Amino acid sequence: MRVLVTGGAGFIGSHVVEELTARGHEPVVHDLRADARCDVRDGPAVARALAGVDAVCHQAAMVGLGTGFGDAPDYVSHNDLGTAVLLAAMADAGVRRLVLAGSMVVYGEGRYDCPRHGVVRPGPRAAADLDAGRFEPRCPRCGAELTPGLVAEDAPVDPRNVYATTKLTQEHLAAAWARSTGGTAVSLRYHNVYGPRMPRDTPYAGVASFFRSSLARGEAPRVFEDGRQRRDFVHVRDVAAANAAALEAQPPDGTLTAYNTGSGDPRTVGEMARTLAAACGGPEPVVTGEYRLGDVRHITADSARLRAELGWKPEVGFEDGMREFARAGMRGAGR
């Protein structure tokens, strides 16, 4: 299969290219890092790149929380306009298979259970609570303490920052494209991806990159809140394998299918920072109590659907992955 990989020179995209090659496919890289003319927002350039292509693996995106709401036009341009241009070119070219780099951020908070009211959806955390160190969401009906659990694909979506909003819009655009063209679309909702070639020293990366960059400078990782926020850290090679599995699958025509893509092994941010610091031989993390208003407290994946329907399973365990990450090279700053 000849596969156009947008963002194919980036962190995740480069691993997707390697995985596809190892499986006997022919990846075609389309990435601004490789060639300034390879902007996914450039319709004629995308049309040329689609010549002879059987499928598209869309990894190109501006990621992370960025530096503030002033980044909103860039996020919308790169993520949503870029996706619209790509899908329009695919419709014209007759390319009918798409795998999209989705994100768990579309859910907002993860799943929570109240002892009295069952599954509930807490609203955004208030700045006053965060300032006072009250980080855990409470039941919106009775104020009770909640138990976090694994979020499934049928959970309501609730994007709570600009990046999350653009990732959900990408899914809506892909679903509309699939309905219009009869194409097949899969969105892999990545959880916290880490591993070799992560970008360093940039506000447009994930927490693992922030910690690794600090340790590379000999500085202690700075852990926000109390460090007990739960995440699902999934290795980039496992994510690349999920992309290949999705491209080789036969999802239903005319619709978008979403799959959580996580390790299924929830860890706290503080635990990840300590494990990475120990693997690097660096200073112990510092828990700061600081927060970012767009962050959610707990979000961990139920990836059972991806395992059952596509036969995928993660192969890299948390400790082994963190030890490798501690030794691995990182990419220069960039989006």
Residue 151 has pLDDT above 60, yes or no: yes
C-alpha 90/C-alpha 76 separation (Å) is 20
Residue 333 has pLDDT above 60, yes or no: no
- When pLDDT is averaged across residues 224-249 and rounded to a whole number, the result is 98
Q: For 39-67, how does the pLDDT look when each residue is reduced to its tens digit (9 = 90+)?
A: 999 999 999 999 999 999 999 999 887 77
The single-letter code of the amino acid at 181 is: T
Q: For 278-323, how does the pLDDT look when each residue is reduced to its tens digit (9 = 90+)?
A: 999 999 999 999 999 878 999 999 999 999 999 999 999 999 999 9
- When pLDDT is averaged across residues 91-111 and rounded to a whole number, the result is 97
Candidates 75, 107, 112, 163; catalytic one: 163
The answer to whether 291 is a known catalytic residue is no
- When pLDDT is averaged across residues 265-276 and rounded to a whole number, the result is 97
Q: What is the pLDDT of residue 32?
A: 84
CB 84 within 8 A of CB 42: no
Q: What is the pLDDT of residue 335?
A: 41
- Residues in Cβ contact with 326 at an 8 Å cutoff, skipping those fewer than 6 apart: 212, 215, 276, 279, 280
Strands 233-235 and 2-6: unpaired
- When pLDDT is averaged across residues 3-11 and rounded to a whole number, the result is 96
C-alpha 171/C-alpha 102 separation (Å) is 7
Helix 207-216 to helix 269-280 angle, to the nearest 10 degrees? 30
Q: Strand pairing partners for 206?
A: none
Q: What is the pLDDT of residue 334?
A: 46
| Closest residue by Cα to residue 59 from 14, 1, 119, 23 | 14
Tokens for 202, please give them: 């940039």
**pLDDT, averaged across the chain:** 94
Phi then psi for 153, rounded to 5 degrees? -65, -20
Phi-psi region of 56 (alpha: psi -120 to 50; beta: other; left: phi over 0): beta
Position 330 confidence tier, pLDDT thresholds 50, 70, 90: confident
Q: What is the pLDDT of residue 332?
A: 66
In 10 A of CB 268, how many CB atoms? 16
C-alpha 11/C-alpha 219 separation (Å) is 23
- When pLDDT is averaged across residues 230-241 and rounded to a whole number, the result is 98
Position 202 confidence tier, pLDDT thresholds 50, 70, 90: confident
Alpha-carbon distances, residue 4 vs 13, 85, 201, 223 (angstroms) = 11, 14, 29, 38
Position 33 confidence tier, pLDDT thresholds 50, 70, 90: confident
The single-letter code of the amino acid at 112 is: Y
| Closest residue by Cα to residue 9 from 81, 1, 18 | 18
CB 193 within 8 A of CB 236: yes
Q: For 154-188, how does the pLDDT look when each residue is reduced to its tens digit (9 = 90+)?
A: 999 999 899 999 999 999 999 999 999 999 999 99
Q: What is the pLDDT of residue 17?
A: 98
- The sign of the dihedral angle between the CA atoms of 6, 9, 11, 14 is positive
